[in-house]
Amino acid sequence: MRALIDRIFNQKQSDAIRKLWSDEGCQNLIERQIAIGLLENQEVIDEMPLTQLMLLTSLADFSSCPQECYDVAEIIIWGIKEKDILPSIVNHRGKDLAYRCLLSLGFHRKALVKKWDRYGAPSPDFYRKIGISTFWTLADILPIR
C-alpha cells in the first residue's frame, strides 16, 4: 500500500497518510482517498492491480464490506484474463457462469442485447437472474473465508 500512496500523493501528503495509517479508525477513510486519487490520476500501477481494483470498488454503492470489494476485484481480474467472457448456458456452469454473467452485464451489455435480439439467446435479465441465483447457491455451499 505504501508504494501506491507514494505514487499517487506528493511527499508531504504521503508522510501524513502513513502517520494516520496506524489509527484503525482512519484506514477506511484513507483507502477511500487513495481510490479517489487513483480516479483523479487515471493511472494504472502495474504492480498492484488487485489492490487498486479493490480500492476502486470500495467507492461503489454496492460495497458494504472489504471482502465484497476484494471478491469483485478478483472477478474483474479473472475476466481480464479470459478471451471471451460472454456467458453461455450450454458451455458454462457454476462459478464460471456467474462470473461471466456479472462481467458481461457490467461491461458488455450491448453484446448480450445483440445476441438476444438477433440470435434468440437468453435476455440480459435472464443472465442477471442466473448470475444472482448462482452466487447465492455458491455462498450456501462454499466455506466462508
One-letter amino acid at 60 equals A
One-letter amino acid at 52 equals Q
The cell numbers describing 45, all together, are 500501477
Going residue by residue through the chain, which has 145 residues, state the pLDDT in tens, using 9 for 90 and above: 777 788 888 899 888 888 888 787 788 788 888 888 887 776 656 666 777 778 877 777 766 777 777 788 888 888 888 888 889 888 999 889 999 998 898 888 999 999 999 999 999 999 999 988 888 888 766 555 4
- CA 8 to CA 132: how far, in whole Å? 36
Instruction: Encode burial over 86-114: b for 16+ CB neighbours within 10 A, e otherwise.
Output: bbeeeebeeebbbbbbbbbbeebeeebee
